[in-house]
């Protein structure tokens, strides 16, 4: 095996990358490294990514380095190695402070396939607070790159989980990932500078549009119950109250009714403001989606 059970110095990683480029089974080598070397050298994959980036830069300008001059299609090999690195770790390299990239709470808990990804009120608040505190602890110009990195990390680990998930349409971890991704996306949207909208001229005789919203003929509680049960039965993956408000009439306070409360297996939450003793459910007869199993 290429990797030894020792702590490597940063300058040794380019040599390790060169050895990986020439080995027959990169995945086997990286899996061995995760099992044995990573424990004593937790920054190993970061340094491997950096070494690959350095060799890519060298390859662009010169092929005179004796260690890499004999390799054919070097750029393709480096890209392939970068892909193998991504598939064998839950880390995505980024131009961010080490305090973020080396933060185990981020890489191994809040952005990864961890048990707390399943929605529970306390875990959800802890996730939100941690992300916001991290964003506030770095320079303002790094806030957007940080949130974009969080989104990529969540999507990467979500895709990994989906490959082994046995019940993808009703898996609580899938719902947890989806909720976290939507939350990060909303934060990104909040700090992304608005684009200047093109100016359109409207002719005088153009009649005003009434409403593009779907006309909901029930109560807000009934609308909330409908979406709660559609998700629970596997017909939709998740929803955002603001999206419902944008699409339906009679939904001005829908976010209040869709506060989930304590996590439950059947509905994902108790939803005390909808499923009260006085409320008569209207959509409890929705059948499960047969394709979700």
pLDDT for the residue 170: 76
pLDDT for the residue 202: 54
pLDDT for the residue 210: 44
- Phi, psi (degrees; rounded to nearest 5) at 110: -70, -30
pLDDT for the residue 29: 84
Domain boundaries, the chain: 10-87, 98-191, 220-292
pLDDT for the residue 208: 41
Burial 177-191 (b: 16+ CB within 10 A, else e): bbbbbbbbbebbeee
pLDDT for the residue 119: 63
The structure tokens listed for 271 are: 């939803």
Contact 148, 193 (CB under 8 A): no
- Stretches where the chain sits below pLDDT 50 are 64-66, 68-72, 206-208, 210
**Which residues lie below 8 Å from residue 177, measured CB to CB, with a gap of 6+?**
117, 154, 157, 158, 161
Q: Which 3 state secondary structure label does DSSP give 248? A: strand
């Amino acid at each position: 095996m290429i990797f030894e059970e020792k702590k490597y110095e940063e300058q040794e990683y380019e040599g390790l990358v060169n050895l990986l480029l020439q080995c027959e089974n990169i995945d086997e080598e990286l899996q061995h490294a995760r099992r044995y070397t990573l424990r004593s050298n937790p920054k190993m994959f970061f340094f491997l990514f950096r070494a690959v980036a350095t060799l890519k830069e060298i390859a662009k300008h010169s092929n005179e380095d004796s260690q890499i001059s004999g390799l054919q299609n070097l750029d393709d090999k480096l890209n392939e190695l970068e892909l193998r690195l991504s598939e064998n770790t839950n880390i995505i390299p980024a131009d961010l402070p080490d305090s973020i990239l080396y933060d185990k709470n981020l890489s191994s808990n809040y952005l990864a396939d961890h048990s707390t990804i399943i929605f529970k009120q306390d875990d959800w608040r802890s996730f939100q607070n941690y992300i916001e505190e991290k964003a506030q602890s770095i320079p303002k110009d790094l806030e957007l790159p940080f949130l974009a990195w969080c989104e990529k990390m969540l999507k990467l680990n979500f895709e990994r989980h989906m490959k082994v998930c046995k019940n993808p349409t009703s898996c609580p971890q899938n719902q947890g990932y989806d909720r976290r991704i939507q939350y990060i996306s909303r934060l990104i949207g909040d700090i992304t500078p608005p684009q200047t909208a093109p100016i359109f001229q409207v002719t005088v005789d153009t009649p005003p549009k009434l409403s593009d919203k779907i006309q909901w003929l029930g109560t807000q509680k009934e609308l909330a119950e409908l979406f709660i049960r559609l998700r629970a039965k596997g017909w939709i993956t998740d929803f955002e109250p603001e999206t419902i408000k944008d699409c339906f009439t009679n939904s001005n306070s829908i976010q209040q009714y869709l506060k989930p409360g304590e996590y439950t297996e059947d509905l994902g939450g108790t939803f005390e403001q909808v499923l009260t003793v006085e409320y008569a459910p209207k959509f409890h007869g929705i059948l499960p989606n047969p394709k979700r199993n």
